[in-house]
Structure 1
Amino acid sequence: MAEDGLRAGMLAVATADLLDPSFVRSVVLLLDVEEDGVLGVVLNRPSPVPVADVLDGWGETLASPEVFFQGGPVAADTALAVARLRDAAVVPVGFRRVHGRLGLLDLDTPVELLRGSLAGVRIFAGYAGWGAGQLEAEIAEGSWYVVSAEESDVFRDDVGRLRRDVLRRQPGKLAWHATRPGDPGLN
């Protein structure tokens, strides 16, 4: 679906119809969109685990809250770092651009080599992954809204309101879904 507009740097926002516990009310940043599948991380699931308890030296680069985020149900014992460049023209070693100033950061890169080049880092335990055509099928069945991301979406303090705020800024009727209850029959 990349040719139809699905691309890295966009958000997949769970609709009220998506009941999979891994993704209920989630906002997923798409990091890789390829013919063989899609990879992303859930932006609005902070864990209680401070990054400093597991990874030394990353404290000054982390966006608040400085905890691991539950990036998705795949490979939950691995970590992915999403970073924002301070200056789009200055790309440090270990950084792979995804979209604009956003990219993936190799956590094996010595922190000293990154000082001053990053405006924020968020670390995710696990990721969301879809095989070829799987996300496109879920979009077609009404499980996801796909919308443009803003860099600030990735590094918000108040991730509990992220889904609502992303939907509210959308044009037309899509904005109405920002306050839609999970079960409209209970309204």
Structure 2
Amino acid sequence: MDFENIRNRSDEASSLEGHFLIAMPGMEDERFARSVVYVCAHSSSGAMGFIVNKAQPLSFGALLTQLEIVSDPDEIRLPGKGQEVPVCHGGPVERGRGFVLHSDDYDSDSTVVVEQGIALTPTLDILKAMSNGAGPSTALMVLGYAGWGAGQLEAEIAANGWLTCRAELDIVFDAELDNKYSRALGILGINPAFLTSEAGHA
């Protein structure tokens, strides 16, 4: 999916860039059950985002070792909150491809600012920088992404597959992945215990 092409066609008035998609109980696609998706690109040509609350079965240190960026996870020197970098299953598309969602205090030629406070870098350079303490202060590693064709996401929202709300960055970067679903619903004032598949979308 062409991330830049989607963003270039974005209509700011209707775009869901910088929003959460929160899966409803009636979500038909089991791959997205109880998912919170951060939308990075959305326009008339499609949408792209990352599931930010589903853990991958490996640590950030193990991933860097697997990629031969470090030989020993104990060598990693991460700044501040970066001491704990969650590794998430970002979605069903290109599951072997890695992306880093991060605070906007890191920049490179391949970095794209999604909104104030959050950026996206899809290259190994940021992982190398993070391993030696020169990366962003806050980050989330995702493997794979979620993609929708033209009109597909809008149809799913209309069918009550998703709730939508403006994303909060502290939820995006929260290392406690299990809390994100209820926290995202909390933005809308919804208690997960009372959420039904018939609820309307925001």
What is the TM-score normalised by the length of structure 2? 0.75
The answer to whether the aligner puts 1:72 opposite 2:91 as a matched pair is: yes
SS at structure 1 position matched to 2:170: helix
SS at structure 1 position matched to 2:30: coil
The code of the aligned residue for 1:6 comes to S
Residues in 2 aligned to 1:48 and 1:164: alpha-carbon distance in whole angstroms: 22
What residue in structure 2 maps to residue 145 of structure 1?
163
Residues in 1 aligned to 2:197 and 2:150: alpha-carbon distance in whole angstroms: 31
Correspondence for 2:39 among 6, 26, 30 = 30
What residue in structure 2 maps to residue 101 of structure 1?
117
1:180 CA displacement: 2.7
Q: Kindly report the root-mean-square deviation, in angstroms, between the aligned alpha carbons of the 2 structures.
A: 2.8
Maintained 8 Å contact 1:10/1:149:
yes
The answer to whether the aligner puts 1:165 opposite 2:183 as a matched pair is: yes
SS at structure 2 position matched to 1:48: coil
What residue in structure 2 maps to residue 19 of structure 1?
28
The code of the aligned residue for 1:105 comes to T
Maintained 8 Å contact 1:64/1:156:
no
The alpha-carbon distance between structure 1 residues 16 and 2, as it changes in their structure 2 partners (threshold 3 A), is farther
The alpha-carbon distance between structure 1 residues 115 and 30, as it changes in their structure 2 partners (threshold 3 A), is same
Q: Bigger shift: 11-20 or 110-119?
A: 110-119
Q: Which has the higher helix share?
A: 2
Deviations 1:89-120 (A, max 9, x none): x7444321001111111323264499556221
Q: Which has the higher strand share?
A: 1
SS at structure 2 position matched to 1:81: strand
What is the TM-score normalised by the length of structure 1? 0.81
SS at structure 2 position matched to 1:54: helix
Residues in 2 aligned to 1:91 and 1:64: alpha-carbon distance in whole angstroms: 19
- Tell me the matched-pair count: 177
Residues in 2 aligned to 1:14 and 1:64: alpha-carbon distance in whole angstroms: 29
Residues in 2 aligned to 1:30 and 1:91: alpha-carbon distance in whole angstroms: 20
SS at structure 1 position matched to 2:171: helix
Percent identical among aligned pairs is 23
Maintained 8 Å contact 2:138/2:173:
yes
Residues in 1 aligned to 2:29 and 2:82: alpha-carbon distance in whole angstroms: 28
Maintained 8 Å contact 1:12/1:29:
yes
The code of the aligned residue for 2:121 comes to L
